[in-house]
Amino acid sequence: MGQASRFKRMCVFCGSSHGNKSSYHDAAIDLANQLVGGGIDLVYGGGSIGLMGLVSRAVYHGGRHVIG
């Protein structure tokens, strides 16, 4: 597990589509893993599709709170 962050929550907004490049998907999952590893909860716009959905599901399944 990663080092705990001084932040408790982070607000993230990103696309409701997956984009044209697999690197967007990879970056979204990497961001979610960084949040989970740092013990940071997610605050987001509430979308469940696209990149935003990927981030929110990964953070939730990683055991962190998801608010949005």
**Which DSSP letter does residue 16 get?**
S
User: Which residue bears the tokens 């599901």?
Assistant: 57
Residue 1: pLDDT over 70: no
Whole-prediction pTM: 0.88
Number of Cβ atoms within 10 Å of the Cβ of 11: 10
Q: Are 33 and 63 in contact (CB under 8 A)?
A: no
For the stretch 5-47, pLDDT in tens is: 688 999 999 888 888 899 999 999 999 999 999 999 999 988 8
Is residue 11 within a helix (H) or strand (E), and if so which, with residue range? Answer: strand 9-12
